[in-house]
Amino acid sequence: MELQGKVALVTGAGSGIGKAAALLFAREGAAVGVLSRTEAEIRETADEIERAGGKAIPLVADVADDGQMRQAVADLVQAYGRLDIVFANAGINGVWAPIDELQPAEWDRTIAINLRGTYLTLHHAVPHLKKEGGSIMVTASINGTRTFTSAGATAYSATKAGQVAMVQMLAVELAKHRIRVNAVCPGKIDTAITDNTEKRHTQEAGVADFNEDRIPLTDDIPGTSDEVAELVLFLASDRARHITGTPVWIDGAQSLVV
């Protein structure tokens, strides 16, 4: 029960990495605010935690909406009285297309959810973390931080690079408040995010005969959401008490061979 007595906020907690982390946080004793813009899936996550004997409150909000995020964080703190851990995980792949085909509205949507959403999550959460200190984790990616070969993923990669820069800036800014800030950078993970990716003419933006799915550690088998959740738990816990401003790649060496 590493997180006994702690309160955590997890965005994008309706599925994939976010849900796995929320369930693990709850098993380790934290009360968890599980947030998603999809009410049905977030209530399912909260119900699953409570059926297992944990504590959770469902928070329905769009991470890119200032008012909704302000209210969601306020509701969480009102319910449990404090906030110690933030996992800013919500994000989309968005549209992957050559830069001359990627439309401004498509660019703006990816930036809004991935980068503005991270900003708003931390903007509203940090005042509460400052009271007792705490830990922030942000889901970035190997894309834009170690690899630049996902054809057409310019908007997505720009947000992931931006998130790592935000993490490193805030690690310095918030250190005096005893708040640690780290980035988790997954490679290919068995989530549904790729099913929601729109790709157009990516062959025009790619490299011929290039295999982006090489994962040396596991013979090309993707990692799991639970494996990423274990890393997030470590970074949230006191075991990582001297780690801040650090991107941690969890990809089975995928980003070292692409």
* Residues annotated as part of the active site: 156
247: β partners: 183
Q: In angstroms, rounded to a whole number, what is the distance separating the alpha carbons of residues 22 and 70?
A: 20
Query: What is the C-alpha to C-alpha distance for residues 18 and 35, in angstroms, rounded to an integer?
Result: 9
DSSP string, 77-144: HHHHS---EEEE------EE--TTTS-HHHHHHHHIIIIIHHHHHHHHHHHHHHHH-EEEEEE--SBT
Contact 34, 22 (CB under 8 A): yes
Distances (CA, A) of 199 to 57, 90, 151, 196, 224: 35, 20, 9, 10, 23
C-alpha span between 235 and 231 (Å, rounded): 6
